[in-house]
A and B are shown apart, each in its own frame.
Chain A
């Protein structure tokens, strides 16, 4: 108990709060492991959020909404892929363009949907487990996406570590010239990694507009995409650490919301900025600990590949 805040509900709601960043960060991790720095996560998330909501409202099915969100996120990331992989544009600038364009396009698509409620996403009742005392409400009272987001971390971790495809992807991210010399299709691998990142960001955005809020307002993702990028750095490009980072962040944002609701004496604005301040502090701690060695970052991160023949 913390000033009237129930710990069990806190943990249960932090698992929900973490889902959007967890999804987006898992996707971005794969892209960065392939050597691609896509700063457009925020843009892809918000496009996923609006397209997911529109699709869910019209079809009446949240699942179709999520599917549309993944497709929309991937479609926007395809623009990024085209610019950086074919036209060899600067990745930082292109990622920023993606975010700026995504924010504009999302409010354009969403103008008729401000305040519209999507169909509810049902909770998964697991017989036996959901009724357990304490652990039941904390762990087994969520919608399917909470579990899927954790499962995606496990899948990504396993694929990157244990499969041939994962090895090729990492090779492309570490040294694209060597990977090219070995006959791997650098551009194709990166294209797929970018699309996966886009689809995951789209799903994360849809979780905001379909489950977490759930409705549409302009700028609904409120920097979640940037925090996802920060969490990849925090995680030293390791999938399971992404999970820890996302839950840590989820915990802070839930705690500050609870403090706001509990009427803490700290002004609302200062509580609202706390997740961003904490993210910055964590970034500083991580980089200070590494002593400027760049940590575990893929060696070719952010560098474009052009096969000189």
Chain B
């Protein structure tokens, strides 16, 4: 007997929904093995990560609101990335655009310090944040359209540049003049005109969450009803056909990179003005990279990304909890998230191919 793969004419719809679930289950099993190797009770570890943050009465009151706080940047960034990924445009430097959004947004706000007019300061910061991410993403986009430079490498290398810029801002231009020489900017979350605080107490709902939901709705509309969404899907499925149909590939690159950059920038701004509070050397937390996993786990569809973002946020919170309660190392959860993407990519073969058993020689 021989196992062969037979390409499906179109990807299976049933498997497309089932594979992410299957991947999560496989990751839990493999993760359990990893936790057991680390000398932890695997069942307890998995329960601490996936169950306790939501349903354990001792911690849920703290960790439930955190779910939205962590999910918002992931969903915002992943929604933007998914548009490009669908069209074969690989912006993998969202982390850099996220940092630049935070820097530009915070700088715009701090320039007006200590103005009290929130209706001027906060919208201006949002605008500057989106613009910062957008412009940072335009670097690989324009280099790609103008010189055919590989956008994967340029966008990724720019992450390291953005991280260095972040350090220089925290130590130099944006340092809190009243901070006693410590690195880091003024705390934006303690300045009412600029703070991105909780809108409803104890829910974790802040403006970033609202932006994420709006982004998901807009992306869903774009893909279903708008010509740009059609162009994106067509380019992803058949690049040559798209060109013959009149899709301008350069325009698509600029749009997809621009949208994903602006959304990543927004995520950075909402983070720096709210949960993080200030520009600091260790501001970057890897949301831009985790969002890549979220985008794939959500099958590059906006609603899927919404669910995947919540699940990934849960692993962050559960990971912190497991670190605290089981002294599970924080790096374990990062490896766990990476594993999830592996399993997802592996089981995806089921939606694109049929598994056939063939007797040897018959082929």
- Provide the bound-state CA to CA distance between A230 and B156, in Å: 11
Contact (Cβ within 8 A) A108 B150: no
- Provide the bound-state CA to CA distance between A110 and B289, in Å: 21
Contact (Cβ within 8 A) A104 B337: yes
For chain B residues 310-361, which have a beta carbon within 8 Å of chain A?
329, 331-339, 341-342, 345-346, 348-349, 352-353
A111 at the interface (CB under 8 A from B): yes
Contact (Cβ within 8 A) A283 B150: yes
**In whole Å, how far is A270's beta carbon from the nearest beta carbon of chain B?**
7
- Provide the bound-state CA to CA distance between A66 and B113, in Å: 54
**In whole Å, how far is B357's beta carbon from the nearest beta carbon of chain A?**
14
In the complex, per-residue mask of A186-225: 1 if CB is within 8 Å of any chain B CB, else 0: 0000000000000000000000000000000010001100
Q: Which residues of B contact A277 (CB under 8 A)?
A: 161
Contact (Cβ within 8 A) A279 B157: yes
- Provide the bound-state CA to CA distance between A283 and B157, in Å: 11
**In whole Å, how far is A108's beta carbon from the nearest beta carbon of chain B?**
4
Q: Which residues of A contact B156 (CB under 8 A)?
A: 223, 226
In the complex, per-residue mask of B32-69: 1 if CB is within 8 Å of any chain A CB, else 0: 00000010000000000000000000000000000000
Q: Which residues of B contact A222 (CB under 8 A)?
A: 160
**In whole Å, how far is B66's beta carbon from the nearest beta carbon of chain A?**
21
**In whole Å, how far is A274's beta carbon from the nearest beta carbon of chain B?**
9
- Residues of B in contact with A, size category: 35 or more
Cross-chain contact of A269 among B92, B165, B334, B349 (Cβ < 8 A): B165
Contact (Cβ within 8 A) B158 A276: yes
B164 at the interface (CB under 8 A from A): yes
Contact (Cβ within 8 A) A96 B92: yes
B122 at the interface (CB under 8 A from A): no
Contact (Cβ within 8 A) A104 B293: no
- Residues of A in contact with B, size category: 35 or more
**In whole Å, how far is B273's beta carbon from the nearest beta carbon of chain A?**
23
Contact (Cβ within 8 A) B336 A104: yes
Contact (Cβ within 8 A) A101 B342: yes
B171 at the interface (CB under 8 A from A): yes
Cross-chain contact of B349 among A88, A218, A272, A294 (Cβ < 8 A): A88
Contact (Cβ within 8 A) B346 A276: no
Q: Which residues of A contact B29 (CB under 8 A)?
A: none
Q: Which residues of B contact A252 (CB under 8 A)?
A: none
Q: Which residues of B contact A92 (CB under 8 A)?
A: 90, 152
Contact (Cβ within 8 A) B150 A233: yes
Q: Which residues of B contact A292 (CB under 8 A)?
A: 147-148
Q: List 7 additional contacts besides A104-B334, A218-B331, A291-B148; criterion CB under 8 Å.
A: A96-B341, A103-B338, A107-B331, A111-B331, A269-B167, A270-B164, A283-B149
Residues of chain A touching chain B, judged by Cβ–Cβ distance below 8 Å, are: 39, 79, 82-83, 87-90, 92-94, 96-97, 100-108, 111, 218, 222-223, 226-227, 229-230, 233, 267, 269-270, 272-273, 276-277, 279-280, 283-284, 287-288, 290-292, 294, 306, 308-309
What are 22 contact pairs spanning A and B, CB under 8 A?
A: A39-B152, A83-B346, A90-B345, A92-B90, A97-B338, A97-B342, A100-B338, A101-B342, A103-B334, A104-B331, A223-B157, A226-B153, A233-B150, A233-B153, A267-B168, A269-B164, A269-B167, A273-B160, A283-B153, A287-B143, A287-B149, A306-B5
Residues of chain B touching chain A, judged by Cβ–Cβ distance below 8 Å, are: 4-5, 7, 38, 90, 92, 143, 147-150, 152-154, 156-158, 160-161, 164-165, 167-168, 171-172, 289-290, 292-293, 296, 329, 331-339, 341-342, 345-346, 348-349, 352-353, 363
